[in-house]
Amino acid sequence: MMTRITSVSFVAVALAVFKPFGLDTWQWQAYIHLLAIWAIGVAVCIIVDLILKYIVRMPRSFKKGVGYIIRRNLWFQCINTPLVSLAICLYRHFVINEYVAGNQLSVVNYIETLLIIAFCSFTIGLYWRFKFRSKYLAVELEETRQLNEQLKKITASAPQPSNETKAPDTVTLTGNTNDTIELNIANLQYIEAVGNYVKVCYMRDGEVHTDMLRATSKQMEDDLKAYPMIVRCHRAFLVNLAQVEQIISNAHAMQLIMKHTNDAIPVSRSNMQGVKEALS
């Protein structure tokens, strides 16, 4: 709410400086009208926030990332700017027009008001965009740093890959045909869904191998649910967290950099919480 009040205050200050709508004909009375316009702006902002939350169903959610916050604010500006302009035009028509002619409700006056408010909204929007991006990028970087620290602890305590074909942790992955892949679970890198097949990437004898199975990633997920380090990070990827070298993050997405292959595995927003829980 403080963000909205600050934004409306910026618009009021801009109007106080340039004094449109004939406000320059008054002295102290002009500031009373500016205060009324400020109150109108705050009221419309509250209404638009309610519209976004309950009608458009875009609740303010910092957990969805900076991209979501920026998109929500763009929606806010697209709805708020025309409504604020209309409300100010009505105020000009019913209040200011009694003292200063030419403030009657008309298409020309509405367009004039819309251009003024749109310019102010664009300017303050750039400021908030920069501020929100800087703030949430800093939060994401700190969170990524903590996740990498947890990853190092897990990797240090995880069983090391073995070149032995038969081992207590050996698992056999079976597809819809007679094809199978037998490997040590510690050697598994990731599983990627590719059409009607899955690509299994794993280490054997110090080399990277990839085999295809006719199966779905859901089948693989069910077969490997006994191994807590094998998690779904994306609708197309299952990944072995013990084989992750580093976690990187930016404003758009999080990625897992794999050991040996250096492949960058994407982490979707919907699966990010599951990855974090597995690491913690």
Task: Out of 77-81, 157-161, 178-182, give the one with best mean pLDDT.
Answer: 77-81
Whether 107 and 24 map to the same domain: the answer is yes
**Is residue 23 a part of any domain in this protein?**
yes
**Is residue 128 a part of any domain in this protein?**
yes
Whether 116 and 243 map to the same domain: the answer is no
Whether 94 and 129 map to the same domain: the answer is yes
**Is residue 154 a part of any domain in this protein?**
no
Whether 73 and 104 map to the same domain: the answer is yes
Whether 24 and 122 map to the same domain: the answer is yes
What is the rounded distance in angstroms from the CA atom of residue 201 to the CA atom of residue 216? 15
- Report pLDDT for 125: 80
| Cβ–Cβ under 8 Å, residues 113 and 92 | yes
- Report pLDDT for 122: 87
- What is the extent of the structural domain holding 40? 2-148
DSSP reduced 3-state for 27:
coil
Which of residues 95, 129, 148 is at a domain's end?
148
pLDDT-based confidence at residue 168 (cuts at 50, 70, 90): very low
Domain count across the chain: 2
- Report pLDDT for 29: 82
Closest by CA to 140, choosing from 251, 61, 60, is 251
pLDDT-based confidence at residue 194 (cuts at 50, 70, 90): very high
| Cβ–Cβ under 8 Å, residues 104 and 97 | yes
The tens digit of pLDDT for each residue in 1-47 reads 788 888 889 888 888 888 888 877 777 888 899 999 999 999 999 99
Least-confidence region, from 97-101, 166-170, 260-264, 265-269 = 166-170
Indicate which CATH number applies to the domain containing 203. 2.40.50.1020
Whether 129 and 216 map to the same domain: the answer is no
Give the relative orientation of helices 269-279 and 107-157 as an angle to the nearest 10 degrees.
Answer: 30
pLDDT-based confidence at residue 164 (cuts at 50, 70, 90): very low
Whether 174 and 131 map to the same domain: the answer is no
**Is residue 89 a part of any domain in this protein?**
yes
| Cβ–Cβ under 8 Å, residues 230 and 238 | yes
Which of residues 98, 129, 148 is at a domain's end?
148
- Report pLDDT for 167: 41
pTM of the prediction?
0.56
**Is residue 81 a part of any domain in this protein?**
yes
Whether 184 and 271 map to the same domain: the answer is yes
What is the rounded distance in angstroms from the CA atom of residue 94 to the CA atom of residue 26? 17
Q: How much is the mean pLDDT over the chain?
A: 85
Whether 139 and 202 map to the same domain: the answer is no
Whether 102 and 234 map to the same domain: the answer is no
Of residues 107 and 67, more confidently modeled: 107
**Is residue 91 a part of any domain in this protein?**
yes
The tens digit of pLDDT for each residue in 112-152 reads 999 999 998 888 888 877 777 777 667 777 778 888 888 78
**Is residue 140 a part of any domain in this protein?**
yes
Whether 143 and 198 map to the same domain: the answer is no
**Is residue 75 a part of any domain in this protein?**
yes
Whether 138 and 165 map to the same domain: the answer is no
